[in-house]
């Protein structure tokens, strides 16, 4: 009874809040990309019988926009089929996920300074520790063994070029 009282009415019941935000965001991106297509270089007369380079992306943007505008109302059709679009997003993004995203971004940003080997070691140490792995008898063999295995396999056996980074500075 209480839920029924609190249930949104009118336009609020038709629109799904999260999907409306997504639709607005996507529409803004589409508008920006459309604007970009208007700035494409003009084609020389030699190629004038080809379709212009902006035509295909513009057709796609129009079709995508048409579909995006349906998204806020889609939950109504999905509900009728017993599907709940909100089930996977009813909880907030976990702090551990946000932290993981930040750690990985920082590691990639610093990988050019660190070099490949130290980056691999950094991932092997930071991520398990951040995720709560505290067992030293597991961590130590992993932190030593896994990077060594990766370096031997990819750098030495498969010949993938690994940037030396900081290790080069230390050597010199």
Partner 1 sequence: MEDIVKGIGLLLEFQNILLILSGVLIGVLVGALPGLSSPMAIALLIPFTISLDPVAAIAMMAALYCAGTFGGSITAILINAPGAPPAVATALDGYPMAKNGEPGRALGLAAVSSVFGGVFSLIVFIFAAPLLAKLALEFGPAEYFGLAVFALSMLASMSGKSSLRNLISGLVGVLIGTIGIHLTTGVERFTFDIPDLEEGIHFVPVLIGLFAVSELFKQSEKLNAVVERIQAKALRLPSLLELKKLKYTILRSSGIGTFIGILPAEGSTVAAIIGYNEARRWSKEKDKFGKGSPEGIVGPEAANNAAAGGAMVPTLALGIPGSGSTALILAALIMHGFRPGPYLISETPEFVYAIFGAMLIANLGFLFIGLVGAKFFSLVAFIPKKLLWPAVFIFSMIGSYSFASSMFDVWVMLAAGLVGYFMDRHGFSAAPLVMGLILGKLVEESFSQSMIIHDNNFFALLESPVVLLFFVLTFLSLSSPFWTKFFSKK
Please give the C-alpha separations between residue 169 and each of 83, 119, 160, 162, in angstroms, as whole numbers: 57, 15, 21, 15
Is 19 an interacting residue with respect to partner 1 (CB under 8 A)? yes
Segment lying near partner 1 (by CB under 8 A), choices 7-15, 88-96, 164-172 = 88-96
d(CA 57, CA 40): 11
Spatial CA neighbour of 70 closest among 27, 10, 9: 27
Q: Does 40 bind partner 1 (CB under 8 A)?
A: yes
3 versus 46: smaller Cβ distance to partner 1: 46
CB-count exposure of residue 116 (10 Å: 0-12, 13-18, 19+): buried
CB of 43 to partner 1, least distance (A): 5
The yes or no reply on residue 79 touching partner 1 (CB under 8 A) is no
For position 34 contacting partner 1 by CB under 8 A, the verdict is no
Tokens of 69: 């505008």
Binding flag, residue 166, partner 1 (CB under 8 A): no
Catalog residues that contact partner 1 under the rule CB under 8 A: 18-19, 22, 33, 36-37, 40-41, 43, 47, 49-54, 56-57, 60-61, 63-64, 67-68, 70-71, 74, 78, 83, 85, 88-89, 93-94, 96-97, 100-101, 104-105, 108, 111-112, 116, 119-120, 123-124, 127-128, 131-133, 138, 142, 146-147, 150, 154, 158, 160-161
């Amino acid at each position: 009874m209480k839920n029924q009282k609190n249930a949104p009415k009118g336009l609020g019941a038709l629109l799904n809040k999260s999907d409306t935000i997504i639709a607005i965001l996507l529409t803004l991106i589409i508008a920006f990309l459309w604007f970009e297509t208007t700035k494409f270089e003009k084609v020389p007369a030699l190629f004038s019988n080809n379709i212009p380079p902006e035509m295909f992306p513009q057709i796609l943007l129009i079709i995508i926009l048409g579909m995006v505008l349906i998204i806020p109302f889609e939950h109504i059709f999905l509900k009728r089929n017993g599907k709940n679009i909100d089930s996977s997003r009813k909880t907030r993004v976990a702090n551990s996920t946000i932290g993981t995203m930040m750690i990985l971004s920082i590691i990639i940003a610093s990988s050019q300074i660190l070099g490949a080997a130290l980056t691999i070691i950094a991932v092997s140490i930071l991520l398990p520790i951040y995720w709560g792995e505290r067992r030293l008898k597991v961590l130590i063999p992993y932190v030593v063994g896994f990077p060594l295995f990766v370096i031997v396999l990819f750098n030495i056996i498969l010949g993938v070029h690994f940037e030396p980074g900081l290790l080069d500075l230390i050597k010199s």
